[in-house]
A and B are shown apart, each in its own frame.
Chain A
């Protein structure tokens, strides 16, 4: 499978715990995006990388959220001291800009439930 891969697919955690999600993009893609989606809403931008550089981070994100892409390949998203409001689907996407109108491909997401 050469698509975008996200792990784990599901995560249930207790409030206050830290969680980390992983995203493996399509291998030749240099851009990687993280989004959060709740029921009835479109994907909400969290952050994105070009290679290993984090280009932008949403102002809506608290300091509890951090993302890395240390070698410009896979990325991790960590949420510290989780809250019930963090319960959502976390989506990762990758793209390879340079060609006009290059699409982004999504992984199947990690569904987080904070209890």
Chain B
């Protein structure tokens, strides 16, 4: 079993749609959690941190469920510019950053 698992997609959605990505992790001692965004042939960049209480940044909402070892990202009112790969990242108790496979989103006009 992979340490961090994501549905690779692709998710093809129309502009304005709401889309949700999920991620599960295997190490219950994991400490920190992030969503990164990666554009084609570019390096990953932080989208947002994920907190147990849930957090929102504009159209983006991240949730963490430690009991179920599950992380989610919700994107509302999708824009064409949201098309990218979204990477779930878990920081282990040893400080190692572990990436999921990534979920590809394609927003169409």
A joins B in a complex: yes
Which residues of chain A have a CB within 8 Å of any CB of chain B?
31, 33, 35, 40-45, 48, 50, 55-56, 91, 93, 95, 97, 100-109
Count of A-B contacts judged by CB separation below 8 Å? 56
Interface residue SS majority, chain A: strand
**Chain A CB within 10 Å, residue with most, of B6, B44, B100:** B44
- On chain B, the residues within 8 Å of A45 by CB distance are 96-99
Closest B residue by C-beta to A42: B99
- On chain A, the residues within 8 Å of B102 by CB distance are 41-42
- On chain B, the residues within 8 Å of A33 by CB distance are 96-97
Is B87's CB under 8 angstroms from A103's CB? no
Q: How far is the CB of A95 from chain B (nearest CB, A)?
A: 8
- On chain A, the residues within 8 Å of B45 by CB distance are 106
